[in-house]
Structure 1
Amino acid sequence: MSDPADKTPEPTAPGPVTKPLQGWGRLVRMGRPRLTKANLLATLLAILLGFGMVTQVQQYRASGLENLRQEDLVTLLDGVNQQSGKLGTEINRLTRTRDSLRAGGGDAAAIKAAEDRLAALGILAGTVPATGPGIEMRIPDSERRIQPNNILDTVQELRDAGAEAIQINDVRVVASTWFGLSMEGQLIVDGKTIAAPYVVRAIGDPHTVSTALAIPGGVLETLRQLGIPATVQRKTSIAVTALRPASEPGYAQPETSE
């Protein structure tokens, strides 16, 4: 018999090997981004948002507002607020008229509302005279350097600043007004040749309108670069008396269908 002490102990099977990094690996795998519809949608929205922000910044830069002085920006903001206030007042007036008509105010309320609306449209169409505060702009042009686009820019700047009625010399400016030059270099407004100095009268808030014309790179600076020393005076009362003949549209007709 063999001695039990002489038996070599048999090797035992290796036990499970501990992997200390196994838990961290699971966390890493859980944190990996997965390609799902939700992730794709969120990525697309982030890209579109970034593109929109960049586009908006570029538009603000292109508008040249960053070159304006603080007081100019404040003035433009005041002009916007005033326009907003005017629109709010008009909304309130129309709301009161509507409520009066609904409450059975009778024909008198309807007639009064129609007359007020007709007067406002007459001012816009240039068929009735208008008075109010505004500015008077004088543009000398003895050397005939003025171009139609200079006058057009002036009119557009006045409208943007809230001018409600405009007249150049004895011609009323309306939505369809056009500008040109004669063979002699004189300004033509709606087919009528006018002589320098050109006098522009505009009814609106005097401070807002005059400041809009004087902003850096604006109308007055452009004219000065052409050698034209235009001047602007604020007026507490100014009259726009030039009239346009009322005309019937040749093609457009009012839409009466509900």
Structure 2
Amino acid sequence: MSDEHRETGTGWPEPVEPVRPAGEPDPRPDAPDADELSPLVPGDPGEPSPESGDDDGATVNLAEVASAEAGSSAQPSDSPSAGPAGRRVSSAAVMIAALLALLGFTLVVQLKTTSTDPTLAATRQEDLVRIFSDLDSREKRLQQDIEGLEDSQRQLRSGEQGRQAALEEATKRADELGILAGTLPARGPGLAVRFEPGGKPIRADRVLDAVQELRGAGAEAMQISGGDRASARIIASTYFLDGAGDVLVVDGRPLTGPYTITVIGDPETMRTALNIPGGVAASVRGDGGNVSVEDREVAEVSALHAPLKLEHARPVS
């Protein structure tokens, strides 16, 4: 037995194994193959020895590794991800960009919806031509009214002739107001519009629609007649009601069909207004009835409307 022993703490000394040079194989018959040995040996300074049982050394080594990793990550100049992190876009900027894009899309849709009229887009070419002609006629008529009023203004400002012109203008204005109020008869070029019922009677709302379209086309005086030749003057306050059976009540006066509206105004403009797609003529035909329009070189509106009896108002002389 060799004299070299090491202390085991059990009271029995244990012989110390001889140290072999590096790379020399173990001569013992039960020694493991050198290729099967773990590269980590107890003497490796990076790993703690399993026989030492010293936990303080392992703790120190882990702490050193952690501090080394923290030190390397704390240097922004050496980290490859430091650049992209500084250029990262915040969520608030993304939200603002999305809201601006949504606002722009909404504005574009609103402009397209406002500038596009689905009714005119589905209208035929000949109907668009008639609508344009109607608008052109209205513009010419309004321009003539403006010129007439300007001429009257010049005459009223010209001394003695102005006084005479003022009297004539007042008389003319009184006649016009009398025609509009239905207290004076009128004649002039116009139309005779006849409503003939079919499977359904002519309703009051259809007649009212015809009156409104004629007024919009420049009608100046109107009256409605029934099949029994009873007539009623149509003015601004005229009302229409559906009576019992096929009777139409106009200002409290019952009329039986068919009905004829005699109107004074520009025949071409009023005819165009009545024949607009979806207008009164199309509505009556859709109910099974018929609307016929006849031009009159001289249309007479002779039915008068009883003037209101004034109780409190008196003219001022």
What TM-score does the superposition give when structure 1 sets the normalisation length? Answer: 0.71
CA distance in 2, matches of 1:86, 1:252: 35
How far does residue 246 in structure 1 lie from its aligned partner after superposition? Answer: 2.3
Whether the aligned pair in 2 keeps the contact of 1:144 and 1:185 (CA below 8 Å) is: no
Indicate if the aligned counterparts of 1:134 and 1:204 stay in contact, CA closer than 8 A: yes
User: What is the match of residue 243 of structure 1?
Assistant: 304
Q: Secondary structure at the match of 1:246?
A: coil
Q: Please tell me whether the aligned partners of residues 131 and 276 of structure 2 are also in contact (alpha carbons under 8 angstroms).
A: no
CA deviation string 1:97-155 (max 9, x = no partner): 22222221242111001111112222222221121222111112376622111111111
Q: Is the 8 A contact 1:76 1:208 kept in 2?
A: no
- The secondary structure found in structure 1 opposite 2:212 is helix
Structure 2 distance, partners of 1:234, 1:196, is: 21
Find the counterpart in structure 2 of residue 127 from structure 1: 183
**Structure 2 letter corresponding to 1:181:** D
Unpaired runs of at least 5, structure 1: 1-34
Partner of 1:14: none
- Work out which of the residue numbers 201, 218, 241 in structure 2 matches 1:162: 218
State the one-letter code of the partner of 2:121. E
The answer to whether 1:212 aligns with 2:273 is yes
Residues 140 and 197, structure 1, Cα contact 8 Å, conserved in 2: yes
C-alpha separation in 1, matches of 2:314 and 2:146:
26
Supply the RMSD in Å over aligned alpha carbons: 3.1
1:242 alignment partner, SS class? coil
Show the counterpart of 1:57.
Answer: 115
Higher alpha-carbon Rg: 2
Taking the aligned partners of 1:53 and 1:130, their CA distance within structure 2 comes to 48
Q: Return 5+ residue gaps in structure 2 as ranges.
A: 1-95, 226-230
Contact 2:189–2:297 (8 Å) recurs in 1 = yes
- Tell me the amino acid that sits aligned with residue 191 of structure 2: I
Report the Cα offset of residue 56 of structure 1. 2.9
Q: CA deviation at 1:79?
A: 2.0
User: 2:125 aligned with 1:67, yes or no?
Assistant: no
CA deviation vs aligned residue, 1:234-253 (integer Å, no higher than 9, x gap): 22221111111222677999
Distance 1:98 1:49 in 2: 48
Task: Indicate how the Cα distance of structure 1 residues 197 and 112 shifts in structure 2: closer, same or farther if over 3 A, else same.
Answer: same
Matching residue's letter, 1:99: R
Q: What is the TM-score normalised by the length of structure 2?
A: 0.58
Q: Does the 8 Å CA contact 1:142/1:196 hold for their aligned counterparts?
A: no
Give the number of aligned pairs.
210
CA distance in 1, matches of 2:247, 2:200: 7
2:86 matched residue in structure 1: none
Partners of 1:171 and 1:202 in 2: how far apart?
A: 12
- 1:228 paired residue among 265, 279, 289: 289
Q: Percent identity?
A: 39
Report which structure shows greater RCO (CA 8 Å, sep ≥6).
1
Per residue, is there more helix in 1 or in 2?
1
